[in-house]
């Protein structure tokens, strides 16, 4: 099972998106787990769960460079959720971009 974890300021706004992504994944019988967390817990969650992909909400994109540097070293791809997809809760688009990130791996 691939773990796709979303992080935002409090984990609340991304929880709707992560639920939508999980529904899309289930509908397509994809073996993925999508969850949302507050950015402040990223290290704790990573150590416990070892996600296959980290996605950041648009409101925490300022942390992208630091997070990418830290987690790419651990072979985990990091991306920022497209603001339009985030705003419209387009779980299918975000899921596709996460799967693409996982397939491409760390660059």
Q: Annotated active-site positions, please?
A: 8
Long-range pairs for 71-79: beta carbons < 8 A, 24 or more residues apart: 71/46, 72/106, 72/107, 74/46, 75/105, 75/106, 76/46, 76/50, 76/51, 76/52, 76/106, 77/52, 77/53, 77/101, 77/102, 77/104, 77/105, 77/106, 78/53, 78/54, 79/53, 79/54, 79/55
């Amino acid at each position: 099972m691939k773990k796709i974890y979303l992080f935002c300021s409090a984990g609340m706004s991304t929880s709707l998106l992560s639920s939508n992504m999980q529904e899309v994944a289930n509908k397509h019988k994809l073996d993925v787990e999508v969850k949302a967390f507050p950015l402040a817990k990223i290290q704790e969650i990573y150590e416990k769960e070892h996600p296959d992909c980290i996605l950041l909400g648009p409101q925490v994109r300022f942390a992208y460079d630091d997070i990418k540097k830290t987690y790419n070293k651990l072979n985990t791809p990091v991306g920022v959720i497209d603001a339009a997809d985030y705003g419209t809760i387009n779980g299918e688009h975000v899921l596709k971009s996460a799967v693409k990130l996982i397939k491409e791996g760390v660059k």
